[in-house]
Amino acid sequence: MTKKDKLITFFSETRQETELLCEPLEIEDYVVQPIADVSPPKWHLGHSTWFFEEFILKKYKNNYQLFNKDFAFVFNSYYETVGKRVVRSDRGNLSRPSVAKVYEYRTYVTKEMEELLSNNSSEELKSLVLIGIHHEKQHQELLLTDIKYILGNNPLLPNYNDAILEHKVQSNNSDWIKMEEGIYEIGHKDITQFHYDNELGRHKVYLHNYEIASNLVTNGDYIEFIDNNGYKDHNLWHAEAWDWINTNSITQPMYWHKVDGIWHHYTLNGLQKVDPKTPVTHISYFEAFAYAQYKGCRLATEFEWEAAQEKFNWGQRWEWTESAYLPYPNYKKPPGAIGEYNGKFMVNQKVLRGGSIATPSNHTRYTYRNFFQTNLRWQYTGIRLAK
Ligand SMILES: [Fe+2]
């Protein structure tokens, strides 16, 4: 297969995978937005399509005809450079365009893109298409977590799909991995391979001796924290976190329900008993920090995580780190709208490393820097202790 054919296949498969994720949905599920952070599936389908139209087809395809001139207003997420848009919290109020129309839009843009890619194999186009593909993969993960939130906050707790296994027992017993003091290189190495701008520049950090757990914290560990009044001891919590748990009556991870005295949680397979052996998930940074305090430990920095990652298995849960989301030394924000992808979010967020069971398998990598605000927990987040 030529390089050009590989890119077209990668693009087309990604587009299909997104639609497959929506196959188990009923039409009503596509439009709901229970909270501002959770976008309706219909919006994800349209937005990931608009990205290709706005940043690629409009610029590179001769005489490209927009599918609908109003869709930029509906499906632009946060790109100030390209104009006004629907406010985020109003995405669930859009009964139009219909789901059928959004699927038509997808088909139209997919075809136009495939035609463009078979006639133009410039490096500049290729690098933008790869951003578009990986952007769509990020939205595949968001689709799953947003669908989970939509169905998991429906009182009937419907099943989404039996095929997805959210909770897997970790293969080995947990151990402490000892890491030597010294200089480590951090950041994306091979710039010919796909990466986001925030993974550059590669740079040196000095780390002191530390230990990092080989396993993620389990549900059983976390139940012990709850039972030992972890949510009631202010000593374990940041001031902002203490206000947050009290204001919002947070006493357990998101999706947990006690049924007849036994912990259950909503999963994409419906309501299930919590398995004490599988890694805890849907916890905020605030809770990850408090749990680490309770154990007399701490969270790893993102640098400690990256330096040690070869020595443990990762990929079940996005792992909260103790690192603020900041630019690396020599970070360069790209010009124009693509520069809005990462750089403008480098304030008031923590870095998460690894990936989760909802992350597409060919999307994450050990230098990948995910980031969320400290109170958010609808992603598959988890805890790895350090000391
Ligand atoms: Fe996006």
Cα 44 to ligand 1 centroid, rounded to whole Å: 8
Q: Tens digits of per-residue pLDDT, 174-220? A: 999 999 999 999 999 998 899 999 999 999 999 999 999 999 999 99
Going by pLDDT thresholds of 50, 70 and 90, the confidence category of residue 4 is confident
Q: Are 61 and 129 in contact (CB under 8 A)?
A: no
- Average pLDDT over the chain, rounded to an integer: 96
Q: Is 247 left (phi over 0), alpha (psi -120 to 50) or beta?
A: alpha
3-state secondary structure (DSSP) of residue 47:
helix
Cα 138 to ligand 1 centroid, rounded to whole Å: 8
Taking Cα atoms as reference points, which of 34, 101, 59, 9 lies closest to residue 254? 34
Q: Is the pTM of this model over 0.85?
A: yes
Cα 21 to ligand 1 centroid, rounded to whole Å: 17
Query: What pLDDT score was predicted for residue 338?
Result: 85
Cα 47 to ligand 1 centroid, rounded to whole Å: 7
Q: Tell me the average pLDDT across 46-55.
A: 97
Cα 313 to ligand 1 centroid, rounded to whole Å: 28
Query: What pLDDT score was predicted for residue 43?
Result: 97
Q: Is 83 left (phi over 0), alpha (psi -120 to 50) or beta?
A: left
Taking Cα atoms as reference points, which of 197, 172, 175, 173 lies closest to residue 187? 197
Cα 144 to ligand 1 centroid, rounded to whole Å: 14
**37-51 exposure pattern, b = at least 16 Cβ within 10 A, e = fewer:** bbbbbbbbbbbbbbb
Q: C-alpha angle 347/54/77, rounded to 5°?
A: 35
Cα 107 to ligand 1 centroid, rounded to whole Å: 19
pLDDT over 90 (residue 356) = yes
Cα 150 to ligand 1 centroid, rounded to whole Å: 19
Task: Using alpha carbons, list the distances in angstroms from residue 303 to 98, 306, 371.
Answer: 45, 5, 14
3-state secondary structure (DSSP) of residue 240:
helix
Going by pLDDT thresholds of 50, 70 and 90, the confidence category of residue 340 is confident
Query: What pLDDT score was predicted for residue 172?
Result: 83
Taking Cα atoms as reference points, which of 325, 324, 322, 326 lies closest to residue 383? 322
Query: What pLDDT score was predicted for residue 185?
Result: 98
Task: Using alpha carbons, list the distances in angstroms from residue 123 to 64, 98, 196, 198.
Answer: 20, 36, 16, 21
Report the Cα–Cα distance between both ends of the chain, in Å, rounded. 48
What token pair was written down for 279? 């890694």
Cα 135 to ligand 1 centroid, rounded to whole Å: 6
Query: What pLDDT score was predicted for residue 150?
Result: 98
Cα 90 to ligand 1 centroid, rounded to whole Å: 16
Q: Tell me the average pLDDT across 4-9.
A: 94
Burial tier of 10 (Cβ tally within 10 Å: 0-12, 13-18, 19+): middle
Cα 48 to ligand 1 centroid, rounded to whole Å: 6
Query: What pLDDT score was predicted for residue 336?
Result: 87
How many Cα atoms are found within 13 Å in the side-chain-facing hemisphere of 239?
Answer: 0
Q: Tell me the average pLDDT across 43-61.
A: 97
Going by pLDDT thresholds of 50, 70 and 90, the confidence category of residue 112 is very high
Q: Tell me the average pLDDT across 288-314.
A: 98
Cα 75 to ligand 1 centroid, rounded to whole Å: 9
